[in-house]
Structure formats: C-alpha cells, structure tokens
Chains A and B, each alone.
Chain A
Amino acid sequence: MSTETNAPSPPETDWDKAHDSAEFKELRARLRRFVFPVSALFLLWYLLYVLLADYAHGFMSTKLVGNITVGLVFGLLQFVSTFVITGLYVRYANKKLDPIAEKIRTDIESETK
C-alpha cells in the first residue's frame, strides 16, 4: 500500500466553532458576493443571446462589416465574456478567498494534530 493520508477528522474538531467564527463568515460572504451575482449575470447574458438567435433572426443577420453579422459578433462576445469572467474570478479568488481560507484551514488542521 502506498501512504495515503486519511482526512484528519477526529471527533474533537470543532466544526461548529470554526463555522461561527467571524473569519469564516467573512470568507463565505466574500465567495457568495462574487459567485451569485456573476452567475446570474452570465446566465442572463447567455439567455439573451439564445433568445435573440432563436427569435430575432432579422436582427442577428444584419451585416456590420463585410459578411460579419450581428449574430457572429454576439456569439464571439459570449466567448469574450466567458474568458473575462474566468480571469476576474481567478484574480478575485487568489486575492480575496485563498489567503483567508488557508488561514482557517491551517488553524483547524493544527488544532487536530
């Protein structure tokens, strides 16, 4: 057998205490403050795109430059928004979530040793 580390969760870990700590509440608030609105935003943006492509054929087929239509630009903007949201989330998580999550984790895991 290789040396698999089992999850350190002996009964003395006080999850309730960690859960009620101000630090954890801050972490949860920060996560939810970002992921909930952004999820709502990109889902609505996607839904708008699907509805336009589905029900506004004339508008989406309008040519802007050469053969580049509104629909094509809209579609490519979905790619752009996906890449941008990914980048923003990574930056937010690295700066605002990871340090605080790491601190709570270290506290919990050193307590149980």
Chain B
Amino acid sequence: MTLAAGVEGSSPVLNITIFGLFVVVTLFVVFRASRNTKTASDYYAAGRAFTGPQNGVAIAGDYLSAASFLGIAGAIAVYGYDGFLYSIGFLVAWLVALLLVAELLRNTGKFTMGDVLAFRMKQRPVRAAAATSTLAVSFFYLLAQMAGAGGLVALLLGIESKAGQAVIIVIVGIIMIAYVLIGGMKGTTWVQIIKAALLIVGALAMTLWVLGMYGFNLSALLQGAVDKAGKAGEALLGPGNQYGKTGTTKLDFLSLGIALVLGTAGLPHVLMRFYTVPTAKEARRSVVWAIGLIGVFYLFTLVLGYGAGALVGADKIKAAPGGVNSAAPLLALELGGPILLGLIAAIAFATILAVVAGLTITASASFAHDVYANVIKKGKASPASEVKVARITALVIGAVAILGGILANGQNIAFLVALAFAVAASANLPTILYSLFWKRFNTQGALWSIYGGLAVCIVLIVFSPAVSGKPVDAKTGKSASMIQGVDFHWFPLDNPGIVSIPVAFFLGWLGTVLSKEHNQKKYAEMEVRSLTGAGAEKAVAH
C-alpha cells in the first residue's frame, strides 16, 4: 500500500464532497441564525434562548471531540480494555457538573467563569486570573483539535506532505472563524447540534451493523477481536495493556483518571454553554440530555473499538496513516465501502470544526468580557465595543490556532487533551467549588489557587517525560517525547493531576485563611442568587 493514496479504497474526492456539503449546510444555518445577533448577550450566550434539550445536544457536540471519537475507538481496537477507561472518566465527570456546578453557575454568572468568581471578590485581579486560565485551557484544547485535523487529512484525503496538510489546517481554521464571527454563540451552537446529531446517528448505525454481524452477541464480538489479534488477543479483554507495565505507569494512569473526572466541570467552553439557556432548571435539563447522549455514544465506541479490532485488526490499524486514530474510519470502510468512509470522515472533520468554534468563542468572550471590559475599561466599556473586541479576539485566536495546529501537527492528540483536562481540574475547578460553597473564600485564595494550580500543572508538564527524556524506540529511531535528543525531565509522570489538583485545593485554602478579607454581605447575596435564581440573567426576547 502506498501512503500517498491515503487509506486504501478511500476516495478523496468523495470525502471532500461530503465534507463540503456539511460546510455549505452549516454555513447557511449560521447565516440564518446570525440575523438576530446584536447585543453582547446574543453574541456570547445566544440570547439565552436555547431550550435544555437543544443545549444538551450542543454540549454533546462540544464535548465529543475528535479525541473521543477517533482516539477512544482506536485505543480500544489496539489496546482493548484500557481504551474503555477513558470513556468512563469522561462520562462520570458529568456528575460533578450536574450536582455541583451547572445550576449554581447559571444563576450567578453572565457570560464567563470570571463572572462567578468575581461576584464577591475584587473584580480586576480575579477576572484577570480567570481569563488567564481560560485562555490556557482553551489553547491546549485548540492545539489538540488542530493537530488532529492534520492527522485526519493524511488519513482521509491522502495528503501526505506537511505543506499540503498545513493548507488544510488553514482552510479548517478559516471556516471555523467564519462560523464564530458570523453566527456568534447562536451559530456555533447550531453547528454543534448538527454535528452531534450526525456523529451519534453515524456511530449508532455502525454499532448496529457491527453487532448485527455477530448476532447481537457482545461476547461473540469480543471473541472476534481476540481471534483476530492472535496470541496477544486474550489480553484485550482485561485492563493493563496500555498502562499496566510498571509502578510508574500505573500511578500515571491513576493521575489521568483523577484529572479526567475533575476536569470536565472546569472546562471553560463547557461552562459557557450553561449561559445559553434561560434558567437554572433548563441548565439542569441540558446536563441530563448531555449525560444521556454522551453515555450512549461511549457505549457505541466500545462496540466500534472492538469491532475495528475484530474486522480490521490491530496490525492493519497501526500501519495505516494516522495510526491508532484510523480505527473508526477503517471500520467504516470495511463495513460500507468508500461511501460510509466518506460520511464518517466528513463527520470527523465536522467534529473538529465544531469543537474548535466552541473553544474560540469561549476564549474570545473571556478576553473581551473579563480582560477588556472589566480589567482594562473597569466595567465602563459599551456592550457594542465589547462585542467588537470579542470578534477581533476571535480572529486572533483563530490565527493562533491555525499556526499552532501547523506546528503541533503530528503531536499526540490524546496527550494534549489530557493536558487541557489537567489544567482545567487544577486551575479552575477548586476555585469554582470554593467560590460556590465556601463562605470564607476570598480574593487571595482564588488567586493562589488559580495561578498556583496553573503554574504547578504547567511546570510538572514541562519537566515530565511527555516533553523530554523518553527512551528512543529502536524501530522508529525516535523518542515518544515531544522534544527529541534532550532529557531535562525530573517529574516521573506524564499526567500532573495527582499532584497539581490537591496542591491547587490546598493553595486556595491557605491563601484564604491567610487573608482577612471577607465580604459577608456579598456572600449572602451570592448564595441566595445561586440557589434560587433570583435576579439571574433572563432570556432575551426578540
């Protein structure tokens, strides 16, 4: 098989046509949605006019990134049970959002995470800190998605040269910027809803197809995967293939597990989605819908992963351009030929596009609303100028994403996403929880927790084996680390969460008790507002 042809049996023209159709349809929807986008509330929060179920589907569209779809299915196909562990962490994490964060956040904030933190604290320093961590998380997440776009191109369009892939990354970036600039939050939300529907229906169809081939007997499907893998097959059924080798990798997995379950409720693009509904009750309904859809989707990926292992085989997957990430597309090709492959490929592209658009609008809102309007203009910016700044910021972030995507092309997607989760769980979650539930919490505690959590997390990553110092693979002649040929790591784990998350909680507590600041009046107001929804931001009536 020649690499230049992409996946054997794939038709690049067909793939591009189906993807082009998706772009045309969604751009049309975005244009229609944009007609009512006028105020800041329209631009950032879609006028708070989406219903719970609509927002729930959009959350699923925002959350199920290419890493979940391609990454998890591929990990299950190649490593078996260990790939399944990711989906469980990603799903259970939603209970943190449902029980502790979503409704209270909806009631106390306006557009961003900074709104909630700044409620009873000194506005400017806290908003600056919240914007810093929002931008950091969004940046890592963006990099992961854009790097994924490059790999996907290699796989599906047969574009092997780095320059050709760079051109595609630029095109993806420009379409995404168009969605955000034209449609604001409303347009972006519709793109996410369409994409989520396509993704879930596509995965459902493939799941039924695979199960049908094994007489709807899961055990028989597993047997198929075991047989195909030869003598290593039996190990696919139990844990340990990917993470179980040494004490360090086991600890690493524990650290990853903690970051996954605590990261979701601190992801700024997830938090911002709660502002697009009119009430806390609708926020609750949206999480319920999201949990249902995301849970069902991860059950599909379990079947798809083992199905790819059984029908395509781990060796063929690993040898394909795109490696482990190519399991789901190869399975589609095996099942339905080039047309199904084209559909699944288009859905995977749409996934990247929708997630990137969601991240961009979140990051631009955080900069315009927290930094520009409240830190620089001290709350005196007109809403029109704020939206203008948000649009310019979206352009800048889009450019950064394109550039970063070209540079990060070829980096490990799952690692970058895990990084974003670790930063979110360390820098954001402790402050959000303290802020909502702890009477005594104050400005110094928030600043120590955000900056401390962020700094510890990033320092540990920089000095982890993920960045430098992994042994060189004899076959490829390359180290699995990001930087080749040097070794400056001293932290033994790839995942920093097991250290950085407790440290961030501790710093939040320490900073608080060492400062005398305490605003009882504001806390009383915040608590009443957060629990009852009194005085919460209402939906815009058009």
Nearest-neighbour CB distance to chain A for B261, whole angstroms, equals 6
User: What chain A residues lie within 8 Å of B540 (beta carbons)?
Assistant: 2-5
Nearest-neighbour CB distance to chain A for B207, whole angstroms, equals 15
A93 touching B535 by the CB < 8 A rule? no
Q: Knowing A2-B36, A2-B47 touch, does A79 contact B219 (C-beta < 8 A)?
A: no
The 0/1 profile, CB within 8 Å of A marked 1, for residues 76-108 of chain B is: 000001001100110110111011100000000
A54 touching B528 by the CB < 8 A rule? no
Q: Knowing A79-B88, A79-B299 touch, does A16 contact B534 (C-beta < 8 A)?
A: no
A38 touching B99 by the CB < 8 A rule? yes
B99 touching A72 by the CB < 8 A rule? no
Of B130-138, B181-189, B238-246, the one with at least 4 CB within 8 A of chain A: B238-246
A1 touching B528 by the CB < 8 A rule? no
A42 touching B527 by the CB < 8 A rule? no
Q: How far is the CA of A56 from the CA of B100 in the complex (A)?
A: 31
Q: Knowing A78-B91, A105-B533 touch, does A2 contact B38 (C-beta < 8 A)?
A: yes
User: What chain A residues lie within 8 Å of B85 (beta carbons)?
Assistant: 50, 53, 75
The 0/1 profile, CB within 8 Å of B marked 1, for residues 3-38 of chain A is: 111011100010110111000100110010011001
B239 touching A53 by the CB < 8 A rule? yes
Query: Given B218, B220, B292, B532, which contacts A101 in the complex, CB threshold below 8 Å?
Result: B532
User: How many residues of chain A have a CB within 8 Å of chain B?
Assistant: 60
Interface status of B311 (Cβ within 8 A of chain A)? no
Nearest-neighbour CB distance to chain B for A42, whole angstroms, equals 5
User: What chain A residues lie within 8 Å of B42 (beta carbons)?
Assistant: 2
User: What chain A residues lie within 8 Å of B525 (beta carbons)?
Assistant: 13, 15, 19
Q: How far is the CA of A81 from the CA of B39 in the complex (A)?
A: 42
Q: Knowing A2-B542, A7-B536 touch, does A54 contact B291 (C-beta < 8 A)?
A: no
User: What chain A residues lie within 8 Å of B450 (beta carbons)?
Assistant: none
Query: Given A7, A67, A105, which contacts B223 in the complex, CB threshold below 8 Å?
Result: A67
B528 touching A24 by the CB < 8 A rule? yes
Q: How far is the CA of A31 from the CA of B540 in the complex (A)?
A: 29
Nearest-neighbour CB distance to chain B for A72, whole angstroms, equals 7
Q: How far is the CA of A7 from the CA of B254 in the complex (A)?
A: 44
Interface status of B288 (Cβ within 8 A of chain A)? yes
Interface residues of A in 61-113 (CB under 8 A from B): 61, 63, 65-69, 71-72, 75, 78-79, 82-83, 85-86, 89-90, 93, 98, 101-102, 104-105, 108-109
Chain B residue with Cβ nearest A58: B238
With contacts defined as CB atoms under 8 Å apart, how many contacts are there between chain A and chain B in the complex?
Answer: 175
User: What chain A residues lie within 8 Å of B295 (beta carbons)?
Assistant: 79, 82-83
B532 touching A27 by the CB < 8 A rule? yes
Query: Given B41, B254, B531, which contacts A4 in the complex, CB threshold below 8 Å?
Result: B41
User: What chain B residues lie within 8 Å of A16 (beta carbons)?
Assistant: 521, 524
Residue among B258, B292, B525 with the most chain A CB within 10 A? B525
B239 touching A61 by the CB < 8 A rule? yes
Query: Given B219, B254, B528, which contacts A18 in the complex, CB threshold below 8 Å?
Result: B528
Q: Knowing A7-B536, A7-B537, A27-B532 touch, does A71 contact B238 (C-beta < 8 A)?
A: yes
B531 touching A27 by the CB < 8 A rule? yes
Query: Given B38, B94, B291, B538, which contacts A1 in the complex, CB threshold below 8 Å?
Result: B38
Beyond A46-B261, A51-B254, 9 additional contacts (C-beta under 8 Å) are: A13-B525, A42-B95, A60-B238, A67-B219, A78-B91, A83-B292, A90-B284, A101-B532, A104-B532
| A contacts, CB < 8 Å to B | 1-5, 7-9, 13, 15-16, 18-20, 24, 27-28, 31, 34-35, 38-39, 42-43, 46-47, 49-51, 53-55, 57, 60-61, 63, 65-69, 71-72, 75, 78-79, 82-83, 85-86, 89-90, 93, 98, 101-102, 104-105, 108-109
Closest 3 CB pairs of A and B: A61-B238, A66-B219, A19-B524
| B contacts, CB < 8 Å to A | 36, 38-39, 41-42, 47, 81, 84-85, 88-89, 91-92, 94-96, 98-100, 217-220, 222-223, 226, 237-240, 243-244, 250, 253-254, 257-258, 261, 281, 284, 287-288, 291-292, 295, 298-299, 521, 524-525, 527-529, 531-538, 540-542
Jot down 24 A-B pairs with beta carbons below 8 A, ordered by A: A2-B36, A2-B47, A7-B536, A7-B537, A15-B528, A18-B528, A27-B531, A54-B244, A54-B253, A66-B220, A66-B223, A67-B223, A72-B81, A79-B91, A79-B295, A82-B295, A83-B295, A86-B95, A86-B288, A90-B284, A98-B281, A101-B533, A104-B528, A105-B534
